[in-house]
């Protein structure tokens, strides 16, 4: 890039401006990356806790389902009587330009949608266990999606920061150095040329004076 830029004062000013913007861009990328990493690390702690909780809850729920099946036979017809939950809604909040989902779950009252003559306490217990699993799944989906978005944004931000730090900034610095050195060399050449002209002029004036005296 440096060798392709014509060394003029205008190009030097423009390149210095680009260099300043590259430094500013890197600082912004670095700050954004740090904020996103901090946000993600806070969520990762929650992910671990919820995963541990949901693993235990799933085991308990499936064991309860097995107990219900053993007591009544396969209860798929009872399961079909459970109402569809439509209490979910998604909004977003922005963290350094990254849209983080916020899943709102309007909990519906725990209603048993099947008749008591078709079920027993074991079925009721399994239903309550899976109801709890559903609540945890909603929360886990929200956090894992947020972590995925943050991790993806961190990767892109890191890539841009590296490009600025390792490619753009060094290239602009080399160009500034090239133009500055070229202009300095031109100034030295111009100074030397002017000095030679002045010396020759003085010599000519001295010769004229000497000829006039003769």
Q: Hey, where are the domains in the chain?
A: 9-171
Q: Residue 55 and residue 129: Cα distance in Å, rounded?
A: 12
CA distances 93 to 59, 87, 96, 99, 103, Å, are 33, 20, 10, 6, 11
* pLDDT of res. 29: 95
- Give pLDDT tens digits for 162-184: 999 999 999 999 999 999 999 88
What are all long-range contacts of 79-82, with beta carbons under 8 Å and residues at least 24 apart? Answer: 81/113, 81/114, 82/113, 82/114, 82/127
Q: Residue 89 and residue 18: Cα distance in Å, rounded?
A: 45
Which tokens in the block code for residue 95?
């963290």
Average pLDDT of the chain, as a whole number:
83
Tell me the mean pLDDT in the region 1-7. Answer: 70
Q: Give CA 206 to chain center in angstroms.
A: 75
Residue 200 has pLDDT above 90, yes or no: no
Q: Does domain 9-171 have CATH number 1.10.287.3240?
A: yes
Residue 117 has pLDDT above 60, yes or no: no
Q: Residue 27 and residue 79: Cα distance in Å, rounded?
A: 56
Contact 148, 47 (CB under 8 A): no
Contact 106, 87 (CB under 8 A): yes
pTM above 0.75, yes or no: no
Model confidence at 160, in pLDDT bands (50, 70, 90)?
Answer: very high
- Give pLDDT tens digits for 42-93: 888 888 888 888 889 989 988 888 887 777 766 666 666 666 677 788 889 9
């Amino acid at each position: 890039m440096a060798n392709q830029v014509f060394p003029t004062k205008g190009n030097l000013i423009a390149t210095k401006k680009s260099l300043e913007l590259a430094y500013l861009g890197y600082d912004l990328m670095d700050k954004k990356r740090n904020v996103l990493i901090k946000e993600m690390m806070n969520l990762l702690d929650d992910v671990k806790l919820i995963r541990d909780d949901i693993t235990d809850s799933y085991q308990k729920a499936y064991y309860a389902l097995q107990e219900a099946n053993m007591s009544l036979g396969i209860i798929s017809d009872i399961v079909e009587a459970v109402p569809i939950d439509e209490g979910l809604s998604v909004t977003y909040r922005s963290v350094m330009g990254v849209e983080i989902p916020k899943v709102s779950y309007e909990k519906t009252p725990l209603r048993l949608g099947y008749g008591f003559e078709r079920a027993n306490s074991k079925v009721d217990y399994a239903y309550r266990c899976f109801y709890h699993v559903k609540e945890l799944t909603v929360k886990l989906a929200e956090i894992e999606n947020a972590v995925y978005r943050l991790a993806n944004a961190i990767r892109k931000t890191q890539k841009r920061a590296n490009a600025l730090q390792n490619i753009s900034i060094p290239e602009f610095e080399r160009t500034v150095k090239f133009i500055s050195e070229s202009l300095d060399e031109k100034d030295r050449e111009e100074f030397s040329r002017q000095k030679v002209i002045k010396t020759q002029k003085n010599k000519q004036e001295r010769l004229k004076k000497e000829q006039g005296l003769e």
